[in-house]
Amino acid sequence: MCVAKLDLCVYPGFPFDGNTQLQDGAGNPVNWPSGMTARMRVITDGTGSEVLLFDSEPITDSWLLFHLTGADTVQIPQRAEIWIDLNYDAAGWRPWALGRRGAVCR
């Protein structure tokens, strides 16, 4: 599985509500695997070691949701490397998407 490209618009000091809906090839919503968990891993120091971890909301349908407070987002520096990892079976965490916090949001 290749890691998808992620584009996040995070304003430091403001709440962030990120969501992604899983869809099939025809664009229809598909539920994520039962019992799956997700986390946002933020690398701030360039070493590749996670520095900040944020868990997703409980996953019960086709939506993957992250809610960060202003106190959370102020910790994420510009150009931080941001990973979304999934855990849906006994194999443990797997990277699913990678991106950076951009300087300017579109």
pLDDT tens-digit map of 23-77 = 999 999 999 998 899 999 999 876 767 689 999 999 999 999 999 999 999 998 8
Whole-number pLDDT of residue 103? 62
Given a cut of 70, whether residue 104 has pLDDT beyond it is no
Cβ proximity of 64 and 22 under 8 Å:
yes
Whole-number pLDDT of residue 45? 75
- Stretch 4-18: mean pLDDT: 87
DSSP string, 51-95: -EEEEPPP--SSEEEEEE-HHHHTTS-TT-EEEEEEE-STT--EE
Domain positions in the chain = 4-101
Helix/strand/coil percent split, the chain, to 5? 5, 40, 55
- The verdict on domain 4-101 having CATH code 2.60.120 is no
Tell me the pTM: 0.85
Whole-number pLDDT of residue 106? 61
